[in-house]
Amino acid sequence: MKRLLDRLALTLSTFFGVGFVPVASGTAGALVAMLLALPLIGHMKWLLACTAVVTLVGLWASSRADKLFNNHDSGEIVIDEVSGMLLALSLVPASLPAWIAAFLVFRFFDITKPFPCGLIDKKVNGGLGVMADDWMAGLYAGSVVFLAYSALNP
- Structure confidence by residue, pLDDT tens digits, 50-94: 999 999 999 999 999 999 998 888 899 999 999 999 999 999 999
The pLDDT-based confidence of 139 (bands split at 50, 70, 90) is very high
103-131 pLDDT, tens digit per residue, is: 999 999 999 999 998 898 888 989 999 99
In the three-class reduction of DSSP (H, G, I as helix; E, B as strand; rest coil), residue 20 is classed as helix
* Residue 51, number of CB atoms within 10 A of its CB: 24
Q: What local confidence, expressed as pLDDT, does residue 70 receive?
A: 86
pLDDT at 50: 96
pLDDT at 121: 85
Contact (Cβ atoms closer than 8 angstroms) between residue 20 and residue 65: no
Amino acid type, 20: F
Residue 108 CB-density burial (10 A; 0-12 exposed, 13-18 middle, 19+ buried): middle
- Asked if 106 contacts 30 with a C-beta cutoff of 8 angstroms, the reply is yes
Q: How confident is the model at residue 147 (pLDDT cuts 50, 70, 90)?
A: very high
pLDDT of residue 152: 92
Angle between helices 44-69 and 25-37 (to 10 degrees): 150
What pLDDT sits at residue 34? 96
Q: Are 85 and 139 in contact (CB under 8 A)?
A: no
Q: What confidence tens digit (pLDDT) does each residue in 8-25 have?
A: 999 999 999 999 999 999
25 residue type, one letter: S
* Cβ atoms of residues 61 and 8 within 8 Å: yes
- pLDDT computed for residue 62 by the predictor: 96
Contacts of 113 (CB under 8 A, 6+ apart): 121, 133, 137
pLDDT of residue 92: 96
Phi, psi torsion values for 127, nearest 5 degrees? -60, -35
Query: Above 80 in pLDDT, residue 154?
Result: no
Helices (H), the chain: 2-13, 25-37, 44-69, 79-91, 96-112, 117-123, 126-152
